[in-house]
Amino acid sequence: MKLINKKSAVITTILMVSLLSACGGGSADKIISDIIDDIDVSEKRNQASISYINALEQSTTFYTQSTVYPNSVYENKHKVVALMANNVSNELTHKWLDNAKETKFAYEDGNSANNRKELIENLQNNKRYWSIAWQQDGVRNLSVLEKKPLNQANKLSFRIFTNVELNISINQQTAIYSTEVGQVSTAFTIEGCSDLMLGEFAIDLCQSGDYGNSYLVVFDSESSIAIIAQE
């Protein structure tokens, strides 16, 4: 007779993580990690799509881990993608167990494995996110944003993410918005080939984007590089 069904196994695993991790010890961590890995994939009902942006000037390795795992987020099993400077990944799927939606995001230098940064976010099932590695005055940062496309026919939509406060202006008009450091702007929509200015920096959306789509513009003021990624 089967005494423990799959749902019970998931709940039991989460309880074991809490109890055994509290006791400490590498062997206990490995046991729990192995149990989680062995749970049938169908039990990982929750998932999100995540694109990773490296807005740093060196290669960067990204990691994503459900916090139900007791081991380090920097273990190889939690590695999701390695990106060269100023690059964007494809959408990658992250899955997690019921009642374990807390997710740890992290990154480190691709070559030295130094300069680590991490944060914890509660993800929502079937949502789409950005994970962005960026810096301000040499200080590393990590941000996780929900994707919010605003696609309209014959128009370009965009949001702005910067590492410094900058005025946004379109077609040489008076500034319509000021960015906040590490915060994504509201969405803007333009028609035709409009000139987008971030402070004194010109951004050519028309060259990089297609009408009818939405984009996230990640701008680094120190390198004057803008990464334009489709939402």
The predicted pLDDT at position 18 comes to 53
Confidence category of residue 25, pLDDT binned at 50, 70, 90: low
Nearest to 101 by CA among 77, 125, 72: 125
The predicted pLDDT at position 195 comes to 76
Confidence category of residue 24, pLDDT binned at 50, 70, 90: low
Percent above pLDDT 90 for the chain? 53
The predicted pLDDT at position 3 comes to 37
Long-range contacts formed by 27-30: CB under 8 A, 24+ apart:
28/70, 29/70, 29/71, 30/71
Encoded amino acid at 88, one letter: V
**Crossing angle (nearest 10°) for helices 6-23 and 26-38:** 170
Q: Which helix (H) or strand (E) holds 13?
A: helix 6-23
Specify whether the CB–CB gap between 109 and 135 falls below 8 A. Answer: no
The predicted pLDDT at position 209 comes to 83
Across residues 75-87, what is the average pLDDT? Answer: 95
Q: Which residues contact 77 (CB under 8 A, 6 or more apart)?
A: 33
The predicted pLDDT at position 32 comes to 54
pLDDT in tens, 181-213: 999 999 998 887 777 889 889 888 878 888 899
pTM score: 0.84
Across residues 5-14, what is the average pLDDT? Answer: 49
Flag the least confident range among 42-46, 134-138, 178-182, 200-204.
42-46
Flag the least confident range among 23-37, 125-139, 185-199.
23-37
The predicted pLDDT at position 114 comes to 87
Task: Give the dihedral sign, CA 161/55/92/32.
Answer: negative
3-state secondary structure labels for all residues of 164-218: CCCEEEECCCCCCEECEECEECCCEEECCCCCEEECCEEECHHHHCCCCCEEEEE
Q: Which residues contact 220 (CB under 8 A, 6 or more apart)?
A: 55, 86, 134, 135, 162, 163, 226
- The listed range with the strongest mean pLDDT (13-22, 110-119, 126-135, 190-199) is 126-135
Confidence category of residue 40, pLDDT binned at 50, 70, 90: low
